[in-house]
Amino acid sequence: MASAIPGDGIRWESKGRAATYLSRPSFLINPLCFEMIGADSEVLIIDNSEASIWPQKHEEVFVGLMEEEVLKGNRNTTTFTKQSWKHIKEELCAQVKRSYTNLQLRNNYNLLRQKHKDFKSLLKETSIGYSEVTGQVTAPDKVWDRLIRVNKKKGCVLYKKLCTIFGDTTATGFNAHPSTRSPSIDLDNNDDDDAMSKSPSVRNQESSFDEDGRKRRDKSTGTTSSRSAKKAKFSLALAETLTVYNETAKRKIDLYENSMTLTKHHLLDECIEALNQIDGISGEVYAKAIEKFESELTLLTLSAMDHHHQHCSESPQTLSPPPPSSTDDTTTTITTPTCCKCGATAAFNAPPPWSEISPPNYRPIRAPAINLPPNQSQQAIILTPVPQAQRVPIETPPFQFQTPSKRIQSPEDIRRFHESFSGKNFLGFIVALSESVRGRKISDPVHHQSPITDSIVSILETLIQWVDEIPPTQMKSRYGNVSYRVWQERLVENSENLMLRFLPDDLRSSTVEIVPYFTDSFGNSSRIDYGTGHETNFAAWLYCLARLGLIKEEDYDSVVIRIFVKYMALMRKLQTVYCLEPAGSHGVWGLDDYHFLPYIFGSSQLINHKYMKPKSIHNEDILENFSHEYLYLSCIAFVKKVKKGPFSEHSPLLDDISGVPNWNKVNSGLLKMYKVEVLEKVPIMQHFIFGSLIKW
């Protein structure tokens, strides 16, 4: 047998071996103790430096006072009431003639609770005996050999009293609290009480120093955080696995559902692409051609499918007759359903022929196309042919420049404009600008840097400098700073002189026609707003310069990545400094509050890019690193900067476009959308002006 010596230290002796002398408060010192008390038990590991060492007499007084309070019924849940703690502290200080802080009381309370818990677990070990008189633990030498390897224990003289104090709070676990959280001890309104009422993590940080100011290690925090990290890691891995599984299952279902229509879609795309190469097709003829393609390709796809159907194993007489094909009272001939491919009897009745009765009882796989009302923009965009680039004819003398005026007042006027040469050529000019920057970055060198483009860039830089010279007025309104009118007034006064910077002598008289396009390219001074109509005026001003021969085809790339980029910088500054109101914005259902053309030019820049796809706009690193190189990414970055909330909520159309597979489709779709949503809208084009360069 081994002997245990009670006191401030303990020496275990077994077969001539002596265990290391330990300080009294340390009860569990080895993580291997889980082998004895169970790995699932929660163990509070408390450092000795967390409280000064209590003499044995002081601890006995402390335990006795707590036992008295328990017997009086002054303990609620896992700890004592506020009055009880105050009484215990006062009596303890009076009897032992020493003052203890709230932190010392709490730490000793935790040590005693842990001591009771571990000693109780020790007594559950087989062949372990305990004497309540001496407080000694007895066991055979073999048991001591095994226990010494994993723990070094000591006697517990106060075990019986500790059972009275902690017995009913740790047996069932109903009122127990986590081992990393101390019971609340609230004696009076001082700083210690405030610390006790804080969260466990804050208390652990504040209690990481002893009374002498020396820092100590807190093992409990590391153990708990390690366990929580493992749980979080496992949960994350499980969630990722389930997500991958769900995505794989959804992908399989989508592939299965789309497998029967892939051939049709491929052929239809080829037909539409061939149709887009034909010039001079009206919208009505284009829509009828698309409808014809779809109906013919549906029959072709069905006939090319594998021969999959269920033949009937029953006699034809047992089949239920198909429903009558008409509502006449004449006798209906009942025919046996047969397979249209092999002629064998089929297991299902043939569907009735298509009926114009609304609603029909049956609709085949591909019913005749139902044309939506003409005011449905989505249907109009789908049926619009992709605009094609056109060469701009140069105006020749004798010139007949005139002050441009407004002509569009109704949808009939819109139709007349788009059927005219001016309407088609102006849109073809925009397409040509888009194609000139295909696969080009803003920082790339231009093919031809002419003095005209340099002069225009210099003019735009002058306008940017004016914004700095005319600061905004302090106002409470959200939109429309009145200082913009001062800037616009200076623009109107100096616009003719700005044009004369680059106009040759024989074209100086053209200022009467091109200045109105230029001055209306930066917003409206009365409404203090800006929209796609003003942007279109800037494109019309560039088109007029091309009609005059000042901008040539070899200058198109510099027009976009030099002039238009500088124009965008100016407009972003005007919008943010003077708070220009969006003119005619569709809100969240529009492409952008202010612009449209930079999305067209920017999508053309990204065509055939190796890495960046339409979905790359959701990558913040790509936006940060490449928004200065591509107009499309620059616009997306600006939208995310000025608008708050999820991108899919404040810009659902841009979010939908990010799902398009490639930039080529994005570019062609935006060109069609620009024609329908901007150039065919009366509220926008009613402000467009016509002269000798853009004829009505």
DSSP-assigned letter for residue 338: B
- The answer to whether 152 and 31 have CB atoms below 8 angstroms apart is no
% of the chain beyond a pLDDT of 70: 63
Stronger pLDDT, 507 or 131, i.e. the higher one:
507
**Mind listing the pLDDT tens digit for each residue in 133-179?**
565 667 777 666 656 544 444 567 787 788 888 765 544 444 444 44
Bridge-based pairing of strands 17-18 and 13-14 is: antiparallel
Question: What's the rounded Cα separation, in Å, for the pair 269 and 262?
Answer: 11
- Residue 274 pLDDT level (bands cut at 50, 70, 90): confident
Mean pLDDT score, 410-420: 94
**Mind listing the pLDDT tens digit for each residue in 109-132?**
888 888 888 777 777 665 666 666
Computed over its alpha carbons, how large is the radius of gyration of the chain?
A: 43
- Distance, CA of 196 to chain centre: 40
| Phi, psi torsion values for 338, nearest 5 degrees | -130, 160
% of the chain beyond a pLDDT of 90: 40
Question: What's the rounded Cα separation, in Å, for the pair 590 and 596?
Answer: 10
pLDDT at 94: 87
**58 Cβ neighbours under 8 A, 6+ residues apart:** 92, 96, 98
E strands along 502-587, which residues? 529-530, 581-582
E strands along 471-607, which residues? 529-530, 581-582
Stronger pLDDT, 589 or 485, i.e. the higher one:
485
350 has a pLDDT exceeding 80: no
Which secondary-structure segment (H or E) carries 263? Answer: helix 262-276
Question: What's the rounded Cα separation, in Å, for the pair 392 and 428?
Answer: 8
3-state secondary structure of 177: coil
- Distance, CA of 49 to chain centre: 48
- The answer to whether 392 and 694 have CB atoms below 8 angstroms apart is no
How many other C-beta atoms lie within 10 A of the C-beta of residue 409?
A: 11
pLDDT at 238: 79
Residue-range domain boundaries for the chain? 56-167, 378-690
With vertex at residue 154, the alpha carbon angle to CA 152 and CA 155, rounded to the nearest 5 degrees, is 155
Given CA atoms 37, 39, 40, 42 in this order, what sign does their dihedral have?
positive
DSSP-assigned letter for residue 342: T
- Distance, CA of 630 to chain centre: 22
Bridge-based pairing of strands 581-582 and 529-530 is: parallel
- The answer to whether 192 and 202 have CB atoms below 8 angstroms apart is no
**Mind listing the pLDDT tens digit for each residue in 529-569?**
999 999 999 999 999 999 999 999 999 999 999 999 999 99
pLDDT at 451: 93
How many other C-beta atoms lie within 10 A of the C-beta of residue 487?
A: 21
